[in-house]
Amino acid sequence: MPDIPISDKTINMVDINFSKYMRYVSLAGLEDLQALMKNGLAKIKEHSSQTYGIITSAYNLYKYWGEIDPDNKKYELIENRSKALKEHAADFTWLYNNLSDYRSKKVLYGIVENWLTFSMASLDSIIEKTFLHYFDLDIIKCDENETFVDLGAYDGDTVHNFLDSFSTYKKIYCYEIMPDIFEKLKANLGSYKNIEFRRKGASDKNGTMFISDNEPAESMHKLSNSGNLEVPAVSIDNDIFEPVTFIKMDIEGGEQKALLGCERHIKEGHPKLAISIYHNNEDIWKCARIIYDMDPSYKFYLRYNGGNYYPSEFVLLAV
């Protein structure tokens, strides 16, 4: 795989280091990648068994990316991530080259470095400290004509951040699938005007899907083909017929299908998009590809709102 093109006029260490990582990923074997990852995790354990315990416990709790238990020779996380990097190095490079600012490029570099080495410093260096989650004011512009669609509205926390960032809007749609959280959502936002609450899940088509109410964290519920609670699933194209200007998604790995269900809105209305891309090892590049295939005029940005123990809460902003 070719190195990332670096202009003679703009040589910087973010470009150079990301290019080196991608060159290494493309040339190394899977066993070499996995050995590098195992060594990075072992160094953390050697330095601090407490930190090592926090990191491995978090991965095994959320199970988004695969479990990890070196003491019992279980390396699913490392196997999954090494395979994702190896098979999709060109896609990671494509995303890097299509990011619109160097803050975004550094975010991607930091995430890839953490995947390969478990470096906490690489995550610490990219944490967003200026703007609220989803609402980087250098990228996202909103006014009194905003129709905001919140997919995975939870208890209204994102809407409150939206209002803290912009203070005005035309209409807000809130989608949430868990019955008890849905009631909290309505209670927390019930005093605001022009907000519609929909207990539906966003997908690529209309139908009936299921959720389980026994997830280890109440924010982890996602649509599936089985579970003990039935929930209607809809495509946003078939559920909202008026133009929308801003769509946010944080739906536990359902973002790819939800994007496909927004194709008409994206092609016709070009809404701003804020997409959580950390719930698996593919969304980080795949969601941008889906959007680009629908409308190549979008510009892409990454922002990181997670912590430094493990990579999470990173978002693709597309405008």
Reported as a single tens digit per residue, the pLDDT across 72-99 is 999 999 999 999 999 999 999 999 999 9
Residue 138 domain-assigned?
no
In a shared domain, residues 205 and 74:
no
Residue 250 domain-assigned?
yes
CA 25 – CA 103 distance, rounded (Å): 22
DSSP 9: T
Residue 168 domain-assigned?
yes
Shortest CA distance to 144 belongs to which of 111, 113, 112, 167? 167
In a shared domain, residues 39 and 159:
no
Read off φ and ψ for residue 83, nearest 5 degrees: -65, -40
Q: Which of 124, 155, 175 is the last residue of a domain?
A: 124
Read off φ and ψ for residue 177, nearest 5 degrees: -100, -20
In a shared domain, residues 184 and 293:
yes
In a shared domain, residues 286 and 161:
yes
In a shared domain, residues 221 and 179:
yes
Shortest CA distance to 1 belongs to which of 78, 80, 96? 96
Number of domains into which the chain is organized:
2
Domain CATH code at residue 254: 3.40.50.150
In a shared domain, residues 173 and 85:
no
In a shared domain, residues 157 and 274:
yes
SS3 149: strand
In a shared domain, residues 184 and 61:
no
Residues in the chain predicted with pLDDT less than 50, given as ranges, are 1-4, 6-8
In a shared domain, residues 107 and 167:
no
In a shared domain, residues 298 and 178:
yes
CA 208 – CA 229 distance, rounded (Å): 10
Q: Tell me which residue has tokens 């005093």.
A: 191
User: How many residues are there in the chain?
Assistant: 319
- Do the Cβ atoms of 279 and 249 come closer than 8 Å? no
CA 158 – CA 153 distance, rounded (Å): 7
Report pLDDT for 10: 60
Residue 141 domain-assigned?
no
Residue 1 domain-assigned?
no
In a shared domain, residues 52 and 191:
no
Task: Give the H/E segment covering residue 96.
Answer: helix 89-98
Residue 49 domain-assigned?
yes
Which amino acid, residue 11? Answer: I
**Counts for the chain of helices (H) and strands (E), in that order:** 12, 10
Residue 103 domain-assigned?
yes
CA 200 – CA 234 distance, rounded (Å): 7
Q: Which of 109, 124, 139 is the last residue of a domain?
A: 124
SS3 46: helix
Provide the token pair at 191.
């005093």
Task: Give the H/E segment covering residue 272.
Answer: strand 272-276
Q: Which domain holds residue 167?
A: 147-318
Dmax (CA) for the chain in angstroms is: 59
In a shared domain, residues 157 and 66:
no
The angle, 0 to 180 degrees and rounded to 10, between the axes of the packed helices 89-98 and 13-27 is 160
SS3 24: helix
What is the model's pTM? Answer: 0.94
Task: Give the H/E segment covering residue 266.
Answer: helix 263-269
Residue 114 domain-assigned?
yes
In sequence order, what are the residues at sequence separation of 6 or more whose Cβ sits closer than 8 angstroms to the Cβ of residue 30?
A: 82, 83, 86
Write the CA distances from 130 to 134, 164, 165, 273, integer angstroms: 12, 13, 12, 20
